[in-house]
Amino acid sequence: MREDLVNIIRDALGRARSEGAISMEAIPEISLEIPKRKGQGDFATTVAMTLSRTTGVPAREIAEIITRYITPLPSIIEGVEIAGPGFINITLKKSFWYRMLHEIIAAGNDYGQSNIGKGLQIQVEFVSANPTGPLHVGHGRGAAVGNAISNLLERVGYRVEREYYINDAGNQMKNLALSVYARYLNMLGSDQSFPEEGYKGTYVDDIARSIIDKEGRKYFDTPKEETFRIFSKIAYDQIMSGIKEDLTVAGIIFDSWFSESSLFAGKKVDESISELRSKGYIYEDEGAVWFRSSAFGDEKDRVVRKGDGEYTYLASDIAYHKNKLERGYDQIIDIWGADHHGYIPRMEAAIEAFGYPRKKLKIILSQMVNLVREGRPVQMSKRAGEFITLREVIDEVGPDAALYIFLTRRPDSHLDFDLEVAKKASDENPVYYIQYAHARLASLAREAEKRGIAVEGSNAPEPWNPGTLELLELPEELDIIKRLYLYPDIIEAAAEALEPHRLTIYLHDLSWSLHNYYYKQRIIDDNIEKTKARLMLMKTIKIVIADALKILGVTRPEKM
């Protein structure tokens, strides 16, 4: 449809040119935007202002010429106006909007779906927190963002795989085992000192205690090597199952879990480094092995294998990304905590070193979350092991509020998360505004059904009759139709930009339209035909709100 409008304008320009009204070399791209304010039409184009630059003719003059060539007005257009510095504002006929609504209703639950993704495969890797402790709030934000982005991409026709990369190799696992072991010994009366780099959280104590509960003093005297292996496994299992449980509570599901240590076991790290070596991007210096990332714009080269023969984290990360590349996705998206931003150049260097375009990998940074309570920062010290976990936050405020707050901001903006605000079932909490709209519509449908004019539900008689929708004549009603019409655009734009917060803004606006309308206009009254028309409109809003909330991972209450 927008295509139709663009064509109409392009035709007008074409005729204006061939008749010599405007001289220009080529017909430029025709922009078509939706004006912010009322009274500026349904659509607007800035093409006159753009042309003003190349032709030297004042924008308003060009706009007038274009307008002249648009007449006689095509059937869907109500009027064309020139405004401001040279905008051409186009207003469509009401009949057009009724037709749109009809189409939206016909699309039903599929409304908003598109196929700009054309079935291309995208892998989104997110959370990927180390299995050395429970998830914190920052991970929660990454989880919310990754989940919403994945859902968005799916909605516009990509095939999406959600993956969690488990860093279950390296020193950290050793440290974890040592930490648990030290606590274990302490609890059994030993004065074993706690490791310097150990993990101090209370969850470590819990793991130690669970071992005592099950196996008592069994490991008090056993040879350490063996003990560490066992402790590492027990700790890993408990922490991973905790992480999975937290994610489940948040409603976030992964398609695959990829283990770092499987890369080592399968010699994939060796292979990756060898491949880079054969391409000339690996060299030895000062007893270490280096990756020549500076060849691809990194500020310096990076060590992949240390002097002691151990691989660095970067080495396995390179192998992991090589593996991802070989799995043949059309696009790889990583969602990282913003504190890892320094890693971007070296990761991109690795992608290019393997011969893939840099664009193959898109890294989204999810900024830090500051926990706040009533405006005051919540003290946290990772070193002392004192921090508030994601689970505690979710238990306190509920998953919907947590997810929604994470998603109302751009991923790369710093975020203060106020626990008291998130907890309140009040105006201050944005998620309720939307959910309330949904619940309100559900209640309305129930009420209608009770009175025998259901338009929803399995056995609802379809009240369709071509003229019914035209009874929606109020400006508020047309407003709502126009907003609903925007939905697929919003989804596509949010998916393309990988910015789920656009959806929350839209949801707020749509919910406002509903609440405002609901207050002004009684939906169910004695005029059955009008009631049906209004109920159809309400049903459509509900479908859209539900769809958007689903994409964001937020529940859609039928009652509140």
- Positions 263 through 292 that interact with RNA (CB under 7 A): 285-288
The CA-based angle 145-146-149, given to 5 degrees, is 80
Which residues in 62-121 contact RNA (CB under 7 A)?
83-87, 89
DSSP symbol at 386: B
* Sole binder of RNA in the list 5, 12, 52, 142 (CB under 7 A): 52
Nearest one of 476, 490, 498 to 547, comparing CA atoms = 490
Binding piece for RNA, criterion CB under 7 A, among 144-152, 227-235, 250-258, 364-372: 364-372
CA 512, 515, 519, 520 torsion: positive or negative?
Answer: positive
Alpha-carbon gap, residue 414 to 276, rounded angstroms: 37
Which residues in 154-213 contact RNA (CB under 7 A)?
167, 169-172
Q: Is 356 in the site for RNA (CB under 7 A)?
A: no
- Closest approach, Cβ 101 to RNA, in A, equals 19
Strands 331-337 and 121-125: parallel
Q: Is 463 in the site for RNA (CB under 7 A)?
A: no
* Sole binder of RNA in the list 1, 4, 7, 53 (CB under 7 A): 53
Q: Is 460 in the site for RNA (CB under 7 A)?
A: no
Q: Is 520 in the site for RNA (CB under 7 A)?
A: yes
* Sole binder of RNA in the list 110, 505, 528, 529 (CB under 7 A): 505
- Closest approach, Cβ 448 to RNA, in A, equals 8
- Closest approach, Cβ 382 to RNA, in A, equals 10
Residue with tokens 């169910």: 524
- Closest approach, Cβ 2 to RNA, in A, equals 9
Strands 282-285 and 288-291: antiparallel
Alpha-carbon gap, residue 216 to 189, rounded angstroms: 12
Query: What phi and psi values does residue 239 have, to the nearest 5 degrees?
Result: -70, -45
- Closest approach, Cβ 87 to RNA, in A, equals 3
Q: Is 137 in the site for RNA (CB under 7 A)?
A: no
Q: Is 321 in the site for RNA (CB under 7 A)?
A: no
Nearer of residues 84 and 157 to RNA, judged by Cβ = 84
Binding piece for RNA, criterion CB under 7 A, among 96-104, 136-144, 180-188, 410-418: 410-418
Q: Is 558 in the site for RNA (CB under 7 A)?
A: yes
Q: Is 400 in the site for RNA (CB under 7 A)?
A: no
* Sole binder of RNA in the list 439, 460, 478, 498 (CB under 7 A): 439
* Sole binder of RNA in the list 416, 470, 473, 529 (CB under 7 A): 416
Which run of H or of E encompasses 284? strand 282-285
Report how far apart, in Å, the C-alpha atoms of 114 and of each of 2, 155, 257 are.
15, 7, 29
DSSP symbol at 389: B
Alpha-carbon gap, residue 86 to 66, rounded angstroms: 11
Nearer of residues 139 and 440 to RNA, judged by Cβ = 440
Q: Is 255 in the site for RNA (CB under 7 A)?
A: no
Alpha-carbon gap, residue 160 to 120, rounded angstroms: 8
Query: What phi and psi values does residue 45 have, to the nearest 5 degrees?
Result: -125, 145
Q: Is 391 in the site for RNA (CB under 7 A)?
A: no
Q: Is 152 in the site for RNA (CB under 7 A)?
A: no
Nearer of residues 159 and 482 to RNA, judged by Cβ = 482
- Closest approach, Cβ 13 to RNA, in A, equals 15
Q: Is 28 in the site for RNA (CB under 7 A)?
A: no
Nearest one of 397, 396, 391, 399 to 422, comparing CA atoms = 397
Q: Is 519 in the site for RNA (CB under 7 A)?
A: yes
What residues contact 218, with CB distance under 8 A and at least 6 apart? none
Binding piece for RNA, criterion CB under 7 A, among 66-74, 91-99, 437-445, 546-554: 437-445
553: left (phi over 0), alpha (psi -120 to 50) or beta: left
Q: Is 21 in the site for RNA (CB under 7 A)?
A: no
DSSP 28-53: PP---B--SSTTS-SEEE-HHHHHHH
Query: Number of C-alpha atoms within 13 angstroms, CB side, residue 396?
Result: 17
- Closest approach, Cβ 326 to RNA, in A, equals 22
Nearer of residues 356 and 512 to RNA, judged by Cβ = 512
Nearer of residues 185 and 400 to RNA, judged by Cβ = 400
- Closest approach, Cβ 421 to RNA, in A, equals 7
Burial class (CB in 10 A: 0-12, 13-18, 19+), 37: exposed
Q: Is 380 in the site for RNA (CB under 7 A)?
A: no
What residues contact 272, with CB distance under 8 A and at least 6 apart? 315, 318, 319, 322
Binding piece for RNA, criterion CB under 7 A, among 103-111, 251-259, 310-318, 322-330: 310-318
Q: Which two tokens stand for residue 269?
A: 């790290």
What type of residue sits at position 470?
Answer: E
- Kindly determine how many residues on this chain lie close enough to bind RNA according to the rule CB under 7 A: 94
Alpha-carbon gap, residue 71 to 91, rounded angstroms: 14
Nearer of residues 161 and 489 to RNA, judged by Cβ = 489
Nearer of residues 97 and 219 to RNA, judged by Cβ = 97
Q: Is 426 in the site for RNA (CB under 7 A)?
A: yes
Q: Is 249 in the site for RNA (CB under 7 A)?
A: no
Strands 256-259 and 159-166: parallel
Q: Is 232 in the site for RNA (CB under 7 A)?
A: no
Cα-Cα-Cα-Cα dihedral of 159, 162, 167, 169, to 10°? -50
Q: Is 443 in the site for RNA (CB under 7 A)?
A: yes
Alpha-carbon gap, residue 258 to 334, rounded angstroms: 14
Query: What phi and psi values does residue 425 have, to the nearest 5 degrees?
Result: -90, 70
Binding piece for RNA, criterion CB under 7 A, among 104-112, 135-143, 270-278, 517-525: 517-525
CA 329, 331, 332, 333 torsion: positive or negative?
Answer: negative
Nearer of residues 304 and 353 to RNA, judged by Cβ = 304
* Sole binder of RNA in the list 64, 240, 512, 555 (CB under 7 A): 512
